[in-house]
Amino acid sequence: MQRSDDRILTTHVGSLIRPKALLDSARDHAAHGRELTRSVAEIVAAQAKAGIDIVNDGEFGKSGWANYMLERVTGFEPRPDTLYPAVWLGRDRERFKDFMAEQFPRGVTGTPGHACVGPIKYQGHASVRRDLENLAAAAAAVPVRETFLTAVAPASVGYDARNEHYASERDYVFAIATALR
């Protein structure tokens, strides 16, 4: 980790808007790999140009905020016909039900999700390697102080999912944490 004695180093956390070309290439594995490498180089260069000291890959290698992790672990199966309540919205989904119904309908109705039906084990090593290689190559081409990759918190994995395998919610969340570690 870099240290600065004369000013605060800048960074950002979070997913950046994916370029249309990257989204459009998703169905062709080889084309998507090439477009991902190009898109990461472009977003790292844009961060460097904006003066960001510690850059990331825009989370371009991930399919979304948290559920990308379901692609990188075992134990989950999709449940497209089951709507899971958006409990992560807390009381707001009830307190502002009319607003939610109009502006964020899945906050009221729920969304199709996944179920944990077996042991959770990490299997996404190739994806992490790819993301690290893309970020390192992009950062080598521009003046940046440091790089980082974001990772989802264990309690956010499978936020539209139900535990059907582990004996307790505690065991379920700890299994996710162990897999992420």
The whole model's pTM is what?
0.83
For residues 33 and 4, membership in a common domain is answered with: yes
For residues 53 and 94, membership in a common domain is answered with: no
For residues 92 and 51, membership in a common domain is answered with: no
CA distance 30 to 33: 5
Q: What is the mean pLDDT of the chain?
A: 91
pLDDT band at 1 (very low <50, low <70, confident <90, very high): low
Residue with tokens 């299997």, as numbered in its chain: 123
Question: How many separate domains does the chain show?
Answer: 2
CA distance 175 to 59: 24
CA distance 106 to 95: 15
Q: Which of 39-43, 44-48, 75-79, 152-156 has the lowest mean pLDDT?
A: 152-156
Q: Using alpha carbons, select from 125, 122, 145, 147 the residue that is nearest to residue 137.
A: 147
Instruction: Decide if 71 is inside a domain.
Output: no
Give the percent of the chain with pLDDT over 70.
99
Instruction: Decide if 30 is inside a domain.
Output: yes
For residues 96 and 12, membership in a common domain is answered with: no
**pLDDT over threshold 90, residue 4:** no
Residue 159: CB atoms within 10 Å: 18
